[in-house]
């Protein structure tokens, strides 16, 4: 009988997956994340070389500005990717969504690598570049929510913080890989070679790596949470019209989980602004304000980001022991207190060692957000809207607050009020502090789809699906 096969209590769930099985699924999930962020940063890193290829000859600044505008187009496609691919992941599965996202990114990189220049096909050259960035923007926007959902769902109970933290490990690793490829090519090729054809090499690497990951992702296991949610939906659909049709997608997200959405927005604002401040913008700040040479700043940034990457799993594991809220409070409280003095000291130092130390201290606190960015948001939503609930608000915040971090900083510097930017970052992190108050800490024995409603939300027994297996 169908009723006899339905679990009636958590004790009837299947045993937790073995460590090797979890590791294999996490690696396949994170490799795509690495490739996507490698491709994303490769564009920013090598645009200085291919700007004149895609745009008519003229003022160098105008050419670079054109590539920057195309980069921004990709940036603002991310919310659309968070919506479309998030909804796709909740409807058709994490594996299919993750495979689609890395395929889009690989196609974008291949297009950039092979596209003829403006001198060959005229306006079709920048048009192809825009098309490639549109695909890559959709890809990156959809990757976060799908990846966060998948990593949280395949991780064993009690270790979700540890395994989910590898999402940011792969993000930073992609950034480091793009930087490393740039360093190697700059040493192996002349300026003329980089300008004529060498800039295509990183995009060929990205496209090839994307094809490999696409194959690996097609063979990875689907999340058991998604499969059980599909079975529950099918069983509900086979019922004899016993109730109102269950809401799905954006309708369910906004109607049933407004408090969770608000919390995710708040968590993402401070975390995103702090991440972009202490990773991408800080390197420009050390050159423009502190006066440290560009080559030295590149080494400082590479070393600090490498240490930052290594800290993610440790902080993720710490959250499994002490809870998500204490770690998130440590991030937001620490950054609120230290951003102004740290940025002030960084702007006044001329010592590379002191700059590295201060950057590492700042990133240590940022780890409190980034290591938990996937799991603390994923635990707020049930399987039916998890990828959409995590991905859409994160993409919206990244496209707005993340994309505006550097322009705001540079505008304030140009206006002689650079110190106001430090307070802007502090205020954004303060929103994360407030949002953490909305997060309900799951108990040590809670299931991923149980007991995670935000305070004040009405109980919804129907939203609880099978326990984590």
pLDDT single digits (tens) 193-220: 888 899 999 999 999 998 888 888 877 8
**In the prediction, which pLDDT does 322 show?**
93
In this prediction, residues 53-82 reach a mean pLDDT of 73
Read off φ and ψ for residue 127, nearest 5 degrees.
-65, -40
Q: In this predicted model, what pLDDT tens digit does every residue of 174-185 receive, in sequence order?
A: 989 988 898 888
202 close to 184: Cβ distance less than 8 angstroms? no
14 pLDDT more than 50: no
364 close to 275: Cβ distance less than 8 angstroms? no
**In the prediction, which pLDDT does 232 show?**
81
- Report the distance separating Cα 274 and Cα 361, nearest Å: 13
pTM for the model:
0.81
9 pLDDT more than 60: no
**In the prediction, which pLDDT does 68 show?**
66
Long-range contacts of 291-297 (CB under 8 A, 24+ apart): 291/350, 292/350, 292/352, 292/355, 296/352, 297/355
444 pLDDT more than 80: no
How would DSSP label each residue in 140-201?
A: HHHHHHHHHHHHHHHSPTT-HHHHHTHHHHHHHHHHHHHHHHHHHHHHHS-HHHIIIIITHH
**In the prediction, which pLDDT does 467 show?**
33
Mean pLDDT score of the chain, rounded to an integer? 83
**In the prediction, which pLDDT does 57 show?**
65
86 close to 139: Cβ distance less than 8 angstroms? no
**In the prediction, which pLDDT does 423 show?**
96
Q: In this predicted model, what pLDDT tens digit does every residue of 244-275 receive, in sequence order?
A: 567 778 888 898 899 999 999 999 999 999 99
**In the prediction, which pLDDT does 440 show?**
80
166 pLDDT more than 60: yes
In this prediction, residues 437-442 reach a mean pLDDT of 80
């Amino acid at each position: 009988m169908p009723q006899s096969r339905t679990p009636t209590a958590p004790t009837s769930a299947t045993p937790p997956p073995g460590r090797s099985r979890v590791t294999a699924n996490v690696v396949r999930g994170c490799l795509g994340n690495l490739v996507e962020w490698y491709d994303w940063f490769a564009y920013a890193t090598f645009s200085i070389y291919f700007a004149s290829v895609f745009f008519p000859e003229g003022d160098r600044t105008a050419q670079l500005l054109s590539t920057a505008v195309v980069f921004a187009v990709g940036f603002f496609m991310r919310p659309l990717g968070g919506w479309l691919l998030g909804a796709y992941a909740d409807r058709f599965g994490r594996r299919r969504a993750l495979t689609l996202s890395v395929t889009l990114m690989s196609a974008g990189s291949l297009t950039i690598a092979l596209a003829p220049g403006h001198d060959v096909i005229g306006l079709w050259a920048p048009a192809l570049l825009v098309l490639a960035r549109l695909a890559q923007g959709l890809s990156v926007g959809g990757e976060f929510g799908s990846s966060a959902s998948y990593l949280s769902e395949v991780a064993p109970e009690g270790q979700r913080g540890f395994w989910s933290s590898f999402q940011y490990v792969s993000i930073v690793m992609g950034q480091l890989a793009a930087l490393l490829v740039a360093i190697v090519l700059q040493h192996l090729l002349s300026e003329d070679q980089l300008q004529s054809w060498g800039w295509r090499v990183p995009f060929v690497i990205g496209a090839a790596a994307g094809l490999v990951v696409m194959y690996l992702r097609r063979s990875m296991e689907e999340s058991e949470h998604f499969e059980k949610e599909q079975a529950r939906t099918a069983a509900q659909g086979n019922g004899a019209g016993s109730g109102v049709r269950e809401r799905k997608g954006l309708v369910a997200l906004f109607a049933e989980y407004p408090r969770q959405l608000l919390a995710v927005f708040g968590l993402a604002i401070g975390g995103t602004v702090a991440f972009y401040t202490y990773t991408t913008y800080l390197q420009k700040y050390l050159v423009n304000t502190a006066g440290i040479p560009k080559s030295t700043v590149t080494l400082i940034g590479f070393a600090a980001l490498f240490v930052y990457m290594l800290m993610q799993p440790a902080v993720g594991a710490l959250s499994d022991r002490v809870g998500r809220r204490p770690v998130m409070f440590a991030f937001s409280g620490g950054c609120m207190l230290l951003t102004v003095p740290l940025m002030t000291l960084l702007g006044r130092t001329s010592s590379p060692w002191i700059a590295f130390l201060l950057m590492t201290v700042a990133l240590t606190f940022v780890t409190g957000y980034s290591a938990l960015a996937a799991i603390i948001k994923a635990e707020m939503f049930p399987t039916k809207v998890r990828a959409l609930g995590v991905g859409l608000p994160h993409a919206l915040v990244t496209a707005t607050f993340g994309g505006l971090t550097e322009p705001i900083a540079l505008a304030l510097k140009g206006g002689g009020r650079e110190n106001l930017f430090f307070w802007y970052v502090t205020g954004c992190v303060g929103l994360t502090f407030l949002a953490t108050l909305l997060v309900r800490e799951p108990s040590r024995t809670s299931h991923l789809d149980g007991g995670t409603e935000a305070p004040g939300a009405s109980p919804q027994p129907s939203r609880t699906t099978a326990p984590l297996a």
